[in-house]
Structure 1
């Protein structure tokens, strides 16, 4: 079977380490993952170490949809690799890699004081998806999730 790969990217005005840690701390993760969507978070469990597992129970229309996986690599603050399994992958393990690349600081002139803001390019690659439907569903989901991460960070500044 030929598998497909999706890739989404987002520039966020934040340090890579801050965004990286937001993926591994339950308190922060629960605040930004899926924010603003019709789907919510019922519960999150994270064991942030290579070989550690996670479970994210998403809530939609009163039904719980478990998403789970295992951390393959945790290279703070630049890279996370984990398996991803859910109803939307047909119960198969797929592979997600998230990288955090520091970009040159941008000058912010929107306020009275000019400042330089660190930017991070967050790149998420999701491999082993089976078909165009899985690509479409996950592209929308991951784009929303990265937008939630950006909004969460902006609120915390």
Structure 2
């Protein structure tokens, strides 16, 4: 099978640095990294440096589902690249790139203050079939929505 690529984008009302840091702080990460209804976070362990590893233990129906990987690129506040492996990738390494681009022509006004906006683009490569694409599209879309609500 040919590897497939998934791309998910979300505008978030915060500056790129704040959003970027939320991806590398395990306490913050555990609060917003929710991939869908009924899924929780049991624990998050991170070593946020190139070559450092992470493990995210998600829970569903009383079971723990480990998601793990290794940081490849940490370019604050512009880009994160990491491997991603879980039961949903059939325990094969895949590649995730997350970019954070400040939207300069649009600001959101709340309470007479202007908030910067960032376009977060997540690209997930090396998925091997339509089922993996569908599962990860749902998960990453939910995760970016959860991040947006948590950070706002």
TM-score (norm 1): 0.92
Per the alignment, residue 45 of structure 2 pairs with: 45
Task: Describe how 1:64-75 pairs up with structure 2 within 5 A.
Answer: 64-75=64-75
Deviations, residues 26-74 of structure 1 (Å, cap 9, x unaligned): 1100110007631000110000000000000000000000000000000
Distance in 1, matches of 2:18 and 2:51, equals 22
Displaced runs of 4 or more, over 6 A: none
Q: Which runs of 5+ in 2 are unaligned?
A: none
SS at match of 1:37: coil
Q: Which runs of 5+ in 1 are unaligned?
A: none
Larger Rg: 1
Q: What is the number of residues matched between the two proteins?
A: 151
Distance in 2, matches of 1:68 and 1:93, equals 9
Return closer, same or farther for 1:134/1:35 CA change in 2, 3 Å cut-off: closer
Q: 2:129 aligns with which of 128, 131, 138?
A: 131
Alpha carbons 1:36, 1:148 under 8 Å: kept = no
Shift of 1:107: 4.7
Task: Describe how 1:3-152 pairs up with structure 2 within 5 A.
Answer: 3-34=3-34, 37-104=37-104, 105-108=106-109, 111=111, 113=112, 115-152=113-150
Distance in 2, matches of 1:7 and 1:32, equals 20
Shift of 1:131: 0.3
Distance in 1, matches of 2:43 and 2:139, equals 18
Shift of 1:117: 1.8
Distance in 2, matches of 1:36 and 1:74, equals 26
SS at match of 1:49: coil
Shift of 1:116: 2.4
Distance in 1, matches of 2:62 and 2:108, equals 45
Alpha carbons 1:71, 1:81 under 8 Å: kept = yes
Calculate the aligned-residue CA RMSD, in Å: 1.2
